[in-house]
Amino acid sequence: MTERFSFDTKKEFLDKLEELVKSGVSKKKIDTYTPYPVHEAEEMLDDTQSPVRFFTGAGAIAGCIAGFAFTIYTVLSWPLVTGGKEIVSVTAFIIIAYELTILFGGLTAFAGFMFLSRLPVFKNVFSPEVEFSPKFEIVIKREGPK
C-alpha cells in the first residue's frame, strides 16, 4: 500500500515532509518527486554525499595515468628524436595527460550517475508508473494487509 501526497509549491511540500519525518515515518520508505532539485528534501531524507565523486575521482586519476603511460610508452617503443626534444618530453605530454584526465573524469562521472540513479529505467521509458510532473510529490511505501 502506498500513500501519496501531491503539492503545487515547494513550501507546502517541505512542511509536509518535515511533519512526516518528525512523526516517525522511516526515511527509507519515503520517496519524493520534484520538478527541480530540492536540496532541503535531500538533506532531510539522506544526508550522505553522492558517491558520484568517487567515480569522477577514479576516472580522472586513471585518465591522468593513462595519458602519461600512453605517451611515454609510444616514444620508448620507437625512440625517435624530433625537433631536438628529449625522447620523454614530459612538458609536452602533460597536455595529453591533462586532456585525458578531463575526458575520463567526465565520462566516468556520467557513467557513475547513470549507475547510481539506476538509469535508464526501461520500464519507465514507455509505460511510466510515475511521470516527471510539475508537482511536488511525496510517496510513502507502507506495509499493509495484503
Residue ranges that bind another protein, judged by CB under 8 A: 8-11, 31-39, 41-42, 45-46, 49-50, 52-53, 56, 70-71, 74-75, 77-78, 80, 82-83, 85, 89, 92-93, 95-96, 98-100, 102-103, 105-107, 109-110, 112-114, 116-117, 119-126, 128, 130-134
Q: How far is the CB of 132 from another protein (least distance, A)?
A: 4
Burial class of residue 139 (count of CB atoms within 10 Å of its CB; 0-12, 13-18, 19+): middle
Min CB(144)–another protein separation in Å? 22
The CA distance from 49 to 135, in Å, is 25
**Cα pseudo-dihedral 135, 136, 141, 144, rounded to 10:** -70
d(C-alpha 42, C-alpha 69), whole Å: 41
Task: Give whichever of 4 and 121 is closer to another protein, judged by the CB atom.
Answer: 121
C-alpha to C-alpha distance for 123 and 120, rounded to whole angstroms: 9
State the Cα–Cα distance between residues 73 and 87, nearest whole angstrom.
11
Give the shortest CB-24-to-another protein separation in angstroms.
19
| Min dist. Cβ of residue 129 to another protein (A) | 9
Q: Is 52 or 62 the residue whose CB approaches another protein more closely?
A: 52
When the beta carbons of 120 and 145 are compared against another protein, the nearer one is 120
